[in-house]
Amino acid sequence: MKNNGFTLIELLAVIIILAIIITITVVSIGSILDNSKESLSKDQKKIIEDSAKIYYLQEGMDNNVNCVNLSELINGGYIESREVLDPKTKETLTGSVLITYDANQYTYEYQEQLCESE
């Protein structure tokens, strides 16, 4: 009598191979998602800093502004509130942008803490 089916050992081997492939795929996708969140976070900070540049050029230059809170950028219409959500936690960022002038160049740097009250 001829046996045309798979043995239990062969079926288990196929299941183990599929499990290994799925595990590798899930780990790869997880690292891709983490990298994309990091990249999104960097891009988001760049958008915030660019919004602070526009704010400074329109309102801050004459008033000697050296720091601007995100709430001021949102309230002034320089940035939308959806653009200040942390991609990892989905919470609204509450930091500020520090504006410095050195060697004939302005720099804008996002920081987690708020500006000190004047």
Helix (H, G, I), strand (E, B) or coil at 78: coil
Where would I find the beta strands (DSSP E) of the chain?
Answer: 67-69, 96-102, 105-111
Calculate what percentage of the chain has a pLDDT beyond 70: 92
Number of domains comprising the chain? 1
In a domain, 95, yes or no: yes
Evaluate whether 69 touches 115 at the Cβ level (below 8 Å). Answer: yes
Q: In whole angstroms, give the CA distance from residue 81 to residue 72.
A: 11
N- to C-terminal Cα separation, the chain: 94
In a domain, 116, yes or no: no
Distant-in-sequence, close-in-space partners of 110: CB < 8 Å, separation ≥ 6? 45, 48, 49, 95, 96, 97
In a domain, 47, yes or no: yes
Which domain covers residue 59, as residue numbers? 8-111
Q: In whole angstroms, give the CA distance from residue 37 to residue 14.
A: 35
In a domain, 70, yes or no: yes
In a domain, 2, yes or no: no
In a domain, 118, yes or no: no
DSSP at 84:
G
pLDDT per position in the chain (118 positions), as tens?
A: 566 777 889 899 999 999 999 999 999 998 898 888 888 888 888 989 999 899 888 886 666 678 888 888 888 898 888 778 887 778 888 889 988 887 788 889 999 888 875 4
In a domain, 3, yes or no: no
Q: In whole angstroms, give the CA distance from residue 47 to residue 49.
A: 5
In a domain, 87, yes or no: yes
10, amino acid identity: E
Beta bridge partners of 100: 107
